[in-house]
Chains A and B, each alone.
Chain A
Amino acid sequence: MDLEIAGLSHRYGDLEVLRGIDLKIASGEIVCIIGPSGCGKSTLLRLIGGLERPSQGAVLQLGEPPADSLNPLTYIFQDFALLPWRTVAGNVSLALEGHRLGKTETDSRIADVLERTRLADFAGVFPKQLSGGMKQRVAIARALAVNPAVLLMDEPLSALDSQTRELLLDDLVGLWMREGFTACYVTHNLNEAVRLGHRVVVLSRRPGEIRDVVEIDVPVPERASQAARLAELQQELWDMMRQEALTADRELADG
């Protein structure tokens, strides 16, 4: 299943947040969206997954999602959004409970995703007892449990310290190499964008428009060994964003 975003504009009252966004996300591809703070990238992601209604334009699903996909468009949130009163297994179970899978199927799906995210030993633990990186892995496990067609990730690593972020980024790369998921990945971190994305969409400051789309020409599995080329690309993105970020920063300070 591919996604197509066609002529999408959005405003909150008088405030125009997004203007004329056209974008296609092909199956198996990771599209990163970067932009200065306040440019509407998180809003764009909420619009893509149907959590908000666009003022203009539409988000289209091209083709049918796989039959076994319980929740084709599945989010991973910056703040993890785990229920503190449920254990790790209980949090994963939440995503499966409405689908009448039966107890054995539910249990085996939970065990499977916890195994894939190396959380099997922590099934009975409450989120409070976990580190930030582990919490985000629980959220990833919960997302994988419903067999999503497209993962919508809203700054999934931004609440983590830099070492944990590095580890989890490797996890995501490994996961993509094994399972080849489709994703729209919003971040303000250029390094994450060049490490993970096939294409990087650069948004302008508010109202967010697509300023440029940069292809990352190094295959994802080889990126660990191509640090120089990635640094070059990252610099290119930063040059593109620098002026926008500077202006956006002043605008925010002016209120």
Chain B
Amino acid sequence: MVDVPAGDDRPHGSGGSRQVAFRGGGFAPQPQRWVGPAVFAALLLLWEAGSRTGVITPLILPAPSEALQAFADLVNSGLLWKHVSASLTRLVAGWTAGTLLGLAVGTLIGLFSITRAGLAPLVAAIFPIPKIALLPLFIIWFGIGEGSKVATILFGSFFPTVIATYGGIDAVDRGLIRMGQSFGLSRAAIVWKIVLPSAMPAILSGMRISASISIILLVAAEMIGAEFGIGAYVLLAGNLMATDQLIAGVAMLSILGLCVSWLINRAEKYFLRWRA
């Protein structure tokens, strides 16, 4: 700053002394271990109290204890595992296939001019289509069974992975590639030992995005036509106005999402441990 404010009261060699006021600090959030669970518990308690006193109508929102009871019924009836395993199978199959294909295509686009020129515009054109819109088409192609559901999830996780992978490859430090060449490494060794590890952080954040898209598509696909699966369970509960089951199903989806995110965190910790 060059200009001096008009009311400048700097002591010019004389005058009293005062301490320089502290104006740094802040902008550094500290972990607070108990606050999160406390907010969560308080909200549940408030909700439970509201339901018991009749402030919240049970038809609109059941008490948490009732949702828990619905969940216990589901466990006791033995249907829980049927729903969860159906959902997990679709999710794992679709996401794994989509991610592997996406990695392969993304690497090809990242490495070779001809595949880039041919495929990148195609990817750009198909990526923005909400994949749910393709579900009716997939049902016609692959039938109402597992095929259309897995295909939707595969498609949904394929494109974010492609884009993350070739974006990551584009961002690889050319200095490292030149270093590899200067030591006479083969092209394959440069891709395997320098390019792909460099792109790993971008690939992992692409996986995080594709996993959450996959869960959305899973539920949507199961709502259109499935006997078992968490999405089918939630839809049925809605049709029967069984809000307690509905809440239990939604809570299961939340837990599923948390598990997926935990797994990806573990993968990041493992693959990116050199960044710590």
Residues of A within 8 A of B (CB): 49, 51, 70-71, 73-75, 77, 79, 81, 83-86, 94-95, 97-98, 126, 128, 142, 146
Contacts and interface: CB of A to CB of B under 8 A. Distances in A.
B189 A97 contact: yes
Q: 8 smallest A-B Cβ distances: which pairs? A: A81-B179, A85-B274, A75-B182, A95-B183, A126-B274, A85-B197, A81-B175, A71-B184
Given A74-B182, A81-B178, A94-B185, 11 more contacts: A51-B178, A75-B182, A79-B175, A81-B175, A83-B176, A83-B193, A83-B197, A97-B189, A97-B193, A128-B275, A146-B183
B115 interface: no
Interface string B238-276: 000000000000000000000000000000000010110
Nearest to B178: A51
A98 B182 contact: no
B186 interface: yes
Contacts of A79: 175
A75 B274 contact: no
Report the contact-size class of chain B (Cβ under 8 Å from the partner). Answer: 10 to 19
A156 B23 CA distance: 41
A83 B194 contact: yes
Interface of B: 175-176, 178-186, 189, 193-194, 197, 200, 272, 274-275
Nearest to B185: A98
Chain B binding surface SS class: helix
Contacts of B179: 75, 77, 81
B183 A84 contact: no
14 contacts: A70-B184, A74-B182, A75-B179, A77-B175, A77-B178, A77-B179, A81-B176, A83-B176, A86-B274, A94-B180, A94-B193, A95-B183, A98-B189, A128-B274
Contacts of A85: 197, 200, 272, 274
Given A83-B194, A85-B197, A85-B274, A94 B183 contact: yes
Contacts, number: 49
Contacts of B178: 51, 77, 81
A86 B200 CA distance: 14
A79 B274 CA distance: 18
A49 B274 contact: no
A206 to B, nearest CB: 22
Q: Which of B186, B274, B275 has the most CB of A within 10 A?
A: B274
A235 to B, nearest CB: 34
Contacts of A128: 274-275
A142 B182 CA distance: 12
Contacts of A75: 179, 182
A71 B183 contact: yes
Contacts of A146: 183
A49 B186 contact: no
Given A83-B197, A84-B274, A98-B189, A51 B184 contact: no
Contacts of A142: 183
Contacts of B180: 94
Contacts of B182: 49, 51, 71, 73-75
A146 B185 CA distance: 12
Contacts of B185: 94, 98
A70 B193 CA distance: 19
B52 to A, nearest CB: 55
A221 to B, nearest CB: 30
Nearest to A46: B178
